[in-house]
């Protein structure tokens, strides 16, 4: 087996940009259904405005050039082509750190985080807090090849990540993950316990189940009820949808950029707890760069495998092979998280109103990652 690491550069053909703009201009718009706000889904007027900006205001080439400032590569592991960013810090003693993105996201999730981690001198940190950053694209997401068979799970992804870090020559490193990454990062510690220094999870550990309810305090019960209301409210159950018929819906996402945009914005809004819309809370161009990446790579369908290969929904449990830290303890309960994790970092007041907080608050996330790894370096 050879390392077979090849340089990679994003270069979307101009013809693809022209097709996207043409399709956006020829959208067959649906009528607005009765109901206030998002009660029936993304409002037509708001989607028209955002699609118009995507067509005439958003500059893919500018963002493509920004992404190409990061060193990118392709490597074949277990017969799978994996795309990844590998950005080394100017600090020679930096700790390697592998970041795993979520769904429906991509390596774009960390676009504003990279420099803050690799060059802390320029972002309020100490040079001893620097990281060499590795950001792989999950199989079937973005430029990573889609799985050719069923059976992929978090443990298999973690084994691929461990092999990637081995080929890069890293013997000791940290692991971070949010959303789907919150399942993968702990599995990486299980797959390579002698190499993973610590696991940092954005959120999701210590979430109670129905079996935990009888032993919960009144304060914990109130928190649990709030979680249940949010989960069972007006959000679209993408777990059930993608577990049942991802192929059916992929035709629309793959063929219509407006259908794809509406779906992405629905989920970004479902993941939003702020009063303002998601594309005002998070840089609108960053969201559209993520949507554009899915569109140009045709990965709306292939990125659904974490769901159609699952049997149901469950919160990540974590692991005890390495110390654990989180960006946000609540709404999880620390005493429950400690059943499966050695928790050394559990802040309760970090800022953020969106599920993809690294896109919303990159300064705060970078500072908290530094704070966790300061404890275990």
Q: State residue 1's pLDDT score.
A: 39
Average pLDDT over residues 324-338: 94
CA 364 to chain centre: 17
Measured from the Cβ of residue 251, the count of other Cβ atoms closer than 10 Å reads 12
- High-pLDDT (> 90) share of the chain, %: 85
Q: State residue 58's pLDDT score.
A: 98
Mean of per-residue pLDDT scores for the chain: 94
Q: State residue 306's pLDDT score.
A: 92
Distance CA 158, CA 187 (A): 6
Asked which of 20-24, 106-110, 156-160, 331-335 is least confident by mean pLDDT, the reply is 331-335
Average pLDDT over residues 30-58: 95
Q: Helix, strand or coil for residue 306?
A: helix
Q: State residue 224's pLDDT score.
A: 81
Confidence class for position 365, pLDDT limits 50, 70, 90: very high
Q: State residue 109's pLDDT score.
A: 98
Q: State residue 272's pLDDT score.
A: 94
Q: State residue 184's pLDDT score.
A: 97
Average pLDDT over residues 296-302: 97
Average pLDDT over residues 15-40: 95
Q: State residue 120's pLDDT score.
A: 96
What is the chain's alpha carbon radius of gyration, rounded to the nearest angstrom?
20
Q: State residue 93's pLDDT score.
A: 95
Q: Is 44 exposed, middle or buried (0-12, 13-18, 19+ CB in 10 A)?
A: middle
What's the CA angle centered on 205, arms 204 and 211, to 5 degrees?
105
Average pLDDT over residues 133-153: 96
Q: State residue 312's pLDDT score.
A: 67
Of residues 308 and 276, more confidence is placed in 276
> In terms of Cα–Cα distance, which of 232, 229, 361, 269 is closest to 38?
269
For residue range 176-233, list pLDDT tens digits in order.
999 999 999 999 999 999 999 999 999 889 998 888 899 989 888 887 886 775 555 5
Residues 6+ apart with CB under 8 A from 231: none
CATH class given for the domain over 6-23+37-212+230-374: alpha beta
323 HSE (CA, 13 A, CB side): 14
Q: State residue 229's pLDDT score.
A: 59
CA 53 to chain centre: 24
Q: Where in the chain are the domains?
A: 6-23+37-212+230-374
Q: State residue 223's pLDDT score.
A: 79
């Amino acid at each position: 087996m050879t390392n077979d690491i090849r340089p990679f550069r994003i270069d979307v053909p101009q013809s693809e940009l022209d097709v996207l703009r043409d399709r956006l201009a020829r959208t067959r718009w649906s009528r607005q259904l009765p109901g206030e706000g998002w009660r029936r889904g993304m409002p037509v007027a708001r989607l028209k405005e955002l699609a118009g900006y995507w067509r005439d205001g958003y500059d893919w080439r500018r963002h493509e050039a920004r992404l190409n400032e990061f060193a990118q590569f392709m490597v074949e592991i277990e017969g799978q082509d994996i795309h990844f960013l590998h950005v080394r810090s100017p600090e020679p003693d930096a700790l390697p750190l592998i970041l795993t993105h979520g769904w429906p996201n991509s390596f774009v999730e960390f676009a504003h985080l990279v420099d803050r981690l690799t060059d802390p001198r320029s972002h309020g940190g100490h040079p001893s807090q620097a990281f060499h950053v590795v950001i792989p694209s999950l199989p079937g997401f973005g430029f990573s090849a889609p799985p050719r068979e069923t059976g992929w799970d978090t443990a298999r992804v973690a084994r691929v990540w461990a092999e990637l870090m081995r080929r890069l020559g890293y013997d000791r490193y940290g692991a971070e993950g949010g959303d789907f990454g919150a399942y993968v990062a702990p599995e990486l510690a299980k797959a390579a316990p002698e190499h993973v220094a610590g696991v940092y999870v954005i959120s999701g550990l210590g979430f109670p189940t129905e079996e935990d309810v009888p032993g919960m305090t009144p304060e914990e019960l109130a928190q649990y009820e709030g979680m249940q209301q949010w989960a069972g409210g007006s959000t679209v159950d993408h777990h059930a949808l993608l577990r049942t018929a991802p192929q059916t819906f992929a035709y629309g996402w793959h063929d219509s950029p407006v259908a794809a945009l509406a779906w992405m914005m629905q989920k970004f809004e479902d993941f939003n707890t702020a009063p303002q819309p998601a594309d005002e809370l998070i840089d609108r161009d960053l969201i559209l760069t993520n949507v554009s990446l899915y569109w140009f790579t045709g990965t709306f369908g292939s990125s659904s495998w974490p769901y159609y290969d699952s049997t149901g929904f469950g919160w990540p449990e974590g692991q005890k092979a390495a110390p654990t830290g989180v960006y946000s303890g609540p709404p999880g309960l620390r005493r429950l998280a400690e059943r499966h994790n050695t928790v050394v970092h559990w802040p309760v007041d970090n800022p953020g109103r969106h599920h993809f907080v690294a896109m919303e608050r990159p300064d705060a996330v970078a500072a908290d990652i530094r704070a966790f790894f300061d404890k275990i370096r």
